[in-house]
Amino acid sequence: MAKISVVIPVFNAGKTIIDCIESVLRQSFEDYDIIVVNDGSSDSTLRLLESFSRNIKIITIENSGPAVARNTGIKASNSEYIAFLDADDTWYSEKLEKQYNLIKQKNVELIYCDCKRIFPDGSTGLRSETHKMVRGWIIPNLIEKNIIATSSALVSQKALNKIGIFSESKKILHAEDYHLWVRIADKFKVDYVDEPLLNYNVSSGGFNSLQFEKSLKASEYVFNKIITQGFQRPIDIPQKEWNQLISKAKQLRNIKAGLNIFSLSPLKARHYFFKAIGFKKNGLKALIFLIATFLPKQAISWIKYVINVVNLNIKS
């Protein structure tokens, strides 16, 4: 029985799956197995996977989405730990070794790491530049944003047995990973390796306004229904301070949602900016963004440029 199972869900990833799997095969840590769940691919994916048949276990299912695919891989594993890897990402050779050593040393149930983001235009940047990395009881940070990239996560079967696997509810489509991390972080401490250990490809996505809004609503659903209603306040945080954290997180999430969807639909961005006005710290900034959504179309290009500049500078 391997100490770690690497679970890779894949759907029509013929262009990236070879690099992905080869990055696992180059790991300095050798006590692992690879479970690839082919989520009903219709391109060359399955043929390419079969060329690795001696090194990986291939499970083919009807197209059901990443949550079902990852859960299929988890259920097929007998390992103590599960590492997740998306089919368009690649690991550095020391990724598993450094995370395994740390998870054993710190006696925690979830480890993540920094990653190098590669954007469609070829530019790069560390995820930690926009997603502050924290350790310990991280719920206060998770209520603001998802700070854990799926391909960076190493989680124990102990945690999954206690809190469950990925939710397959359509209500949280595109936010299943966030939902799992907050459930784990509510019960267990979390740690991280303070260096990039993978390349994370930021897809251009092809999202239209409706699809992007569904993604935002899924994340909002997790925040509202799971965090504010289903999670206990950390015992070391007074109730008043906890309430302030929740309010602040709501505002920041609405501002960032508005900024993210602005280029697709200023009208829909208006909805998020309006909800963010009430909290003092960034209230004026939210008001300025709200006003921007009423400006004539000729000003939109300039506004989009300003938004891209300030998007990384929202106070947290």
Which uninterrupted H or E stretch holds 195? strand 190-201
The pLDDT tens digits of the residues spanning 137-174 come to 898 888 888 999 999 999 999 999 999 999 999 888 88
pLDDT score, position 100: 98
Beta bridge partner(s), residue 113:
193
Average pLDDT, the chain: 87
Q: Given this model, what pLDDT does residue 19 score?
A: 97
Q: What is the pLDDT of residue 120?
A: 81
Q: What is the pLDDT of residue 312?
A: 43
55 or 238, greater pLDDT: 55
How many CB atoms neighbour CB 64 within 10 A? 16
Which pTM was predicted? 0.85
**Cβ partners under 8 Å of residue 51, min gap 6:** none
The count of other CB atoms within 10 Å of the CB of residue 137 is: 17
pLDDT tops 80 at residue 7: yes
- Across 97-101, 114-118, 129-133, 286-290, least confident range: 286-290
Q: What are the residue ranges spanned by the domains of the chain?
A: 4-201, 233-313
Q: Which range has the top average pLDDT, 44-53, 204-213, 219-228? A: 44-53
Rounded to whole angstroms, the Cα distance separating 81 from 100 reads 9
Q: What percent of the chain has pLDDT over 90?
A: 54
Lowest-pLDDT choice from 25-34, 35-44, 119-128: 119-128
Task: At 83, list the tokens.
Answer: 């590492």
| Per-residue pLDDT at 130 exceeds 50 | yes
Q: Count the residues in the chain.
A: 316
What SS3 class is residue 4? strand
CA atoms within a 13 Å half-sphere pointing along the CA-CB vector of 201: 17
Considering only 77-86, 117-126, 149-158, 208-217, which range has the smallest mean pLDDT?
Answer: 208-217
Residue located via tokens 């060329």: 51
Question: Which one is predicted more confidently, 155 or 279?
Answer: 155
pLDDT of residue 206: 47
CA distance 231 to 250: 16
Cβ neighbors of 267 (< 8 A, separation 6 or more) are 293
Mean pLDDT of 75-101: 97
Structure token digits, residue 87: 């089919």
Q: Give the CA angle between residues 250, 253, 257 to the nearest 5°.
A: 140
Reported confidence tier of residue 315, pLDDT bands at 50, 70, 90: very low
CATH of 4-201, one of 2.60.120.10, 3.40.190.10, 3.40.50.970, 3.90.550.10: 3.90.550.10
Convert the pLDDT of each residue in 230-273 to its tens digit.
676 666 778 888 788 888 888 888 888 888 777 778 888 888 88
Q: Are 194 and 111 in contact (CB under 8 A)?
A: no
Higher pLDDT, 182 or 312: 182
